[in-house]
Amino acid sequence: MQLTGENINFKYTKKSPWILKDISITINSGERVGVVGPSGYGKSTLAKILAGYLKPLAGSVSLDGGDLPKKGYSPVQMIYQHPEFSVNPRLKMKDILEEAWVPDDDLLGRMGIEKKWFTRWPSELSGGELQRFCIARVLSPKTKFLICDEITTMLDAITQAQIWNLLLDEAKKRELGMMIITHNKSLAERVCTSIIELPELNHIERADV
């Protein structure tokens, strides 16, 4: 499969500067494409567009040449930097985990998720524990592409390594396509099969960002 963004242009209001200008990117099944660059160059905006959460003002996003599904479970799933903003604080963790599908015990074990956490509220878990739930939640068999937006930036080094090892093992096993957004080029060099520097891809003068 192939996830493609072609000639994407985006800004938040008519009067605001362009965030993305003439961006084109392609991710194939099994690829892990790193998108690196400093803050302010539209990495997170690009992630939301490719995942279908934002619509570009010009250009298009396609999945194997067709549109992303507008209803039901999307094959393109996104994992955010702050897991606490990705979950409903009024739901227990079991309900959050099983919103779209029910992960089996094997996946939960490999993700390091303990069933005793199921009855807890999101606020009762650490950031690393909560991010494990968010990752497991998007690993439905229907998922074909993962958009990872700075997913371990706020976590300690040991938890970062654990989460990346678990996620990469699952991605390799299933030939998932991944876009890994980070400002950490050394991380991208370790986990990605190719790297794109967004400042070079984005057709905007630095002063305009």
Tens digits of per-residue pLDDT, 55-94? 999 999 999 999 998 888 999 999 998 999 999 999 999 9
Count of structural domains, the chain: 1
Q: At residue 198, does pLDDT exceed 90? A: no
- Classified as helix, coil or strand, 195 is strand
Mean pLDDT of the 154-159 span: 84
pLDDT of res. 205: 59
Strands annotated E in the chain = 2-10, 20-28, 32-36, 58-63, 76-79, 145-149, 177-182, 194-197
CATH (domain of 76): 3.40.50.300
- Which residue from 160, 177, 201, 191 is spatially nearest to 45, judged by alpha carbons? 201
Region 118-146 average pLDDT:
95
Is the overall model pTM greater than 0.85, yes or no? yes
Query: At residue 115, does pLDDT exceed 90?
Result: yes
Question: With 60 as the cut, is the pLDDT of residue 208 above it?
Answer: no
CA proximity to 59, closest of 201, 190, 187: 201
The pLDDT assigned to 41 comes to: 82
In the three-class reduction of DSSP (H, G, I as helix; E, B as strand; rest coil), residue 93 is classed as: helix
Over residues 161-184, mean pLDDT:
92
For residues 82-109, average pLDDT:
94
Q: 101: domain range?
A: 2-208
